[in-house]
Amino acid sequence: DDAHQALQQLRMLQQKLSQNPSPDAQSGAGDGGDNAASDSTQQPNQSGQANAPAANQAANAGGDGQIISQDDAEVIDKKAFKDMTRNLYPLNPEQVVKLKQIYETSEYAKASTAGTPPKPTATSQYVNLSPGS
C-alpha cells in the first residue's frame, strides 16, 4: 500500500515536471538520471545511447527545453523503482536468513524454561564388612 502510494506520488511529480519544471529541478533530475542512464543503458543496448541525444535534440528544438524525453522518463522510473525496493527491502537475502536464525534462537530461548536443575539421585548399598564375604 505504501509502495503504491509512493508510486502515485512519483507519477504526479513526473507529470508536474513534464509540464513546468524549474531550472533547479531539471538540472537535479538530469544529474540523477545520468548516473542511472549510464548504469542501465550501457549493458542492454548500445543503440539506446545513440537515440538519447537525438531525442534530446528534438525536445530542445521543439521549444524551451522543458520537455522530458521518453528515455529520461524510463530512467526516472527505473531509478524510482530501485530506490523504492531499497527502502522497502534494505536487506539482502543472506542478511535476512541470518536475522531469521537470530530471531528463532531468541524465541527458542524465551520459550524454554530455565527452572531448577534436577536433583541428583543418591543410592545406598548395604556393604557387608565381615571377613569372607
Helices H / strands E in the chain, number of each: 5, 0
CA dist., res. 25 & res. 32, Å (int): 11
- State the pLDDT at residue 66: 57
HEC string of 21-83 equals CCHHHHHHHHHHHHHHHHHHHCCCCCHHHHHHHHHHHHHHHHCCCCCCCHHHHHHHHHHHHHH
Q: What is the pLDDT of residues 57-102, one digit of tens each?
A: 444 444 445 577 888 888 889 999 988 888 888 888 899 999 999 9
Distances (CA, A) of 84 to 2, 19, 60, 68, 72: 10, 24, 31, 22, 18
pTM: 0.29
Q: What is the average per-residue pLDDT within 17-39?
A: 51
- Mean pLDDT taken over the chain: 71
Distances (CA, A) of 82 to 34, 76, 77: 15, 10, 9
